[in-house]
Amino acid sequence: MALILDVHPQNPQARLLQQAVARARAGGLLVYPTDTCYALGCCIGAKTAQERLRQIRQLDVHHDLSLLFSSISQLTEYAKLDDRSFAIVKRVLPGPFTFILPATHDVPRRLADPRRRSIGVRVPDAPVVQGLLAELGEPLMSSTLQLPGDPLPLHEVHEIADRIGNRVDVFLRAEDGGTECSTVIDLCEWPPRLLRRGLGAPDSLGIDLAESGNPIAEEV
């Protein structure tokens, strides 16, 4: 059964975040609230936890996961930002957007799209996950907590505990979460493409977007 930590949604307790981070660094799989939905996540180097995440979501090895960052400056260690892209992400991050960006040479090959060398990145605007990322000091591999066959992500805290409490190591339990995912923008080409409409308003980017119906990685 997961270690359930009842955290304050606006002022998460430092000692509880430290407990969660200790489990993450030991290779644990976590559930936590973001500014969109609850999510599953683990450290980049926790291969076994990533495999468990994929089993829960029933995702194959070719299905990319997102990287969650505490800040744009941390993001630039993993993704390339030119002046135009930087102006866009700075305008809306932290916030409910996922951006597809070219990966830097430092990103391990298994984390990037092998065809485009791109990654999905997020800087969520939610105190619990922000506190978790700050305490951890590195990004989290992350995926929306939506189980196979479910029409929406899990969002009621009691249902999350009941349905996957025995399949994860830590559940950072705050208030009930949302059911709308992040808006996904592909910045690997110009004009940028809107891959999915979500909680983030595309108009707030201040640019014209091309639309795409192509399938994308599951983001949060």
Distance CA 8, CA 1 (A): 21
- Cα–Cα distance for residue pair 1/199, rounded to 1 Å: 32
Q: Which amino acid is at 8?
A: H
Provide the 8-state DSSP code for 31. Answer: E
Q: For residues 180-207, give the mean pLDDT.
A: 95
The pTM for the full model equals 0.92
DSSP label of 121? E
CA distances from 10 to 35, 118, 175 (A): 11, 33, 10
Please state which of the ranges 101-105, 119-123, 128-132, 172-176 shows the lowest mean pLDDT. Answer: 101-105
| Cβ pair 49, 29 in contact under 8 A | yes
Average pLDDT estimate for 107-124 = 78
Res. 209 pLDDT band, cuts 50 70 90: very high
Sorted by where each starts, the structural domains of the chain and their CATH numbers stand as 3-211 (3.90.870.10)
Helix (H/G/I), strand (E/B), else coil: 28: coil
Instruction: Place 175 in a pLDDT band, splitting at 50, 70 and 90.
Output: very high
Measured in degrees and rounded to the nearest 5, phi and psi for residue 39 equal -140, 160
CA distance 27 to 48: 7
Sign of CA dihedral 154, 158, 160, 163: negative
Q: Which strands form 38-43's sheet, in the order they lie side by side?
A: 3-6, 170-173, 30-33, 38-43, 140-144, 66-68, 118-122, 97-102, 183-186, 193-196, 210-211
Q: What is the pLDDT of residues 53-87, one digit of tens each?
A: 999 999 876 677 899 999 999 999 999 999 999 99
pLDDT, the chain, mean? 92
Residues 6+ apart with CB under 8 A from 152: 146, 179
pLDDT band at 219, cuts 50/70/90? low
- Parallel/antiparallel/unpaired status of strands 140-144 and 118-122: unpaired
Helix H or strand E segment including 173: strand 170-173
Confidence check: pLDDT of 154 > 50: yes
Per-residue model confidence (pLDDT) at position 106: 72
